[in-house]
Amino acid sequence: MSTSALESLQDHDTLPPLPYVAHEILLAANREEPDIAEVSDKLAREPGLSARVVAMANSAFFAGQQPLYSIQHAIMRLGLVRVRVLAASVLLNKLFDPGRCPAFSAPRYWHDAIATSYTATRLAPHLAPSDTADAAYISGLLHNIGLLLLVHFFPGPMNEVLGEYGRRPEQSLVALTRSALGCDHGEAGRLLLKAWELPEPVVAVASHFHSPHYRGEHAELVHLVRHAAEWHEAGFELPEAHPLNRALPAAVRATEARHCQRETERLAAFARLLA
């Protein structure tokens, strides 16, 4: 392409806006002492979203002895960590249409995004200061949002890129994307999240997630999210030399792995509902 995909997106001002309700939910749920009533009020402004959260709370993976019908009770059953991730995922999913790119798997994308978010949230208290930990869930959810953006706007070229990567996974997806579009999904993610006016640490994760040697201001958060994604992708069994194994005692890793594996099964079901 003579003009990079990034320039095309900038020139045509076509980036999807972040829904106001999504922004409000993220802010309300990210406070140190979030108010369940406040979060439920935000969710209630989107009836479709409220219904999805209540349905999830009543699903086989989460259901208690009695069915529940209110969004406030759904939040109490699911917990705020899950609710803020699930709600944001539902709202973000509406912004993109990856259906014209057959090589892209939307269920896998959302499963990886949600699982990375949850895993990063579990790891954060052990690996990051509190201000970094606060950003872990949304940074994990959005770490690869640039890929979704490129698939949405450039389905043909990205279908070829993902097809080639599927045939030869030893290649760099970043390099293949840059060759086809003149930019990579890190750059695309940065463009989108800056347009959404999200905090700079969250932007940094999307921008530098695929840069293992990044040493910038937000390196702790970037590497936390990367380790979370790699741990999830490896089935929570990493090579001995991996930095995460050196950073966490074996007993802590074992405990967190059990939590994350159990949650991954639940999140996979939700990701299928999203796609």
Q: Are 232 and 260 in contact (CB under 8 A)?
A: yes
User: Is 224 within 8 Å of 123 (Cβ atoms)?
Assistant: yes
- Residue type at 57 in one-letter notation: A
Name residue 72's amino acid.
Q
**Confidence band of 87 (pLDDT split at 50, 70, 90):** confident
**pLDDT one-digit tens code per residue, 26-85:** 666 555 556 788 788 888 888 888 888 898 888 877 777 788 989 999 988 888 878 888
Q: Name the more confident of 222 and 82.
A: 222
What are the tokens at 123? 């790891």
Domains of the chain, earliest start first: 15-95 (no CATH), 97-275 (1.10.3210.10)
Q: What is the pLDDT of residue 1?
A: 44
- Report the pLDDT value the prediction gives residue 269, as an integer from 0 to 100: 75
What is the distance between the alpha carbons of residues 194 and 232, in angstroms, rounded to a whole number? 27
DSSP-derived letter for residue 52 is H
Q: Please report which confidence band the pLDDT of residue 2 belongs to, taking 50, 70 and 90 as the band edges.
A: very low
pLDDT range class, residue 251, cuts 50, 70, 90: very high
Question: Regarding predicted confidence, which is higher, 66 or 222?
Answer: 222
Answer whether residue 120 shows pLDDT above 90: yes
User: 136-155 in b/e burial notation, b at 16+ Cβ within 10 A?
Assistant: bbbbbbbbbbbbbbbbbbbb
The mean per-residue pLDDT over the stretch 219-238 comes to: 96
- pLDDT tens for residues 258-270? 999 988 877 777 7
Percentage of residues of the chain with pLDDT beyond 70? 94
Contact present, 268 and 110 (Cβ < 8 Å): no
